[in-house]
Structure 1
Amino acid sequence: MALRIASLDPRKVIRRREGQDAARDLQGVGGEPPAVTAPLEQVQIDHTVIDLIVVDDRDRQPIGRPYLTLAIDVFTRCVLGMVVTLEAPSAPIYCSQR
């Protein structure tokens, strides 16, 4: 009996006990991600601000904090490319560079 209870899908159990809204809270915002079965099938791109302040060579005045943009292959977890820039990331800028 315990094995049968343990084999039940937790979302179905919650949905039957507490309703559809409670079951929906168990899954992520986008639901289940699509399965990735091969390299380069899905690439994720993310941006972050680097904890570093760039300073001018001559005046020694702070210019700003650079942004790092990485493209990572989901299947192999390899970094496919990166960009370090002082400009805030935006899709039109990166698309026009390709």
Structure 2
Amino acid sequence: MPVNGNKLAFAKVNVENAPDEPGVYVLYVGGHLIYYGSTEKSIRSRLQDHLAGREGKCTTVATVYGSEVSLNPLRRERELLIEYKSAYGVLPHCNNKMP
């Protein structure tokens, strides 16, 4: 269920270089996946929101992220969530519903 992209430390210096394009992203605490997200506008902007705590407390504990540019981010996020739920029986810890 990985996104097609490198995993990087979830830190301001790395997030500032994230794609400024639509796509999906994934947040981890250590090696544990905690959240899949998508954006129609800017991966960088959404990651900055998570880093600053503007998306709630759950994702502020993330230590690593990955991202993937996508022409249809909502569909890609849904695919990733379905795949995760099929493998583990639940959604990632910080995802509370299917898009």
Which one has more relative contact order, counting CA pairs under 8 Å at least 6 apart? 2
Aligning the two structures, in what range does the TM-score lie when normalised by the shorter sequence?
under 0.3
- Flag the structure with higher helix content: 2
Larger Rg: 1
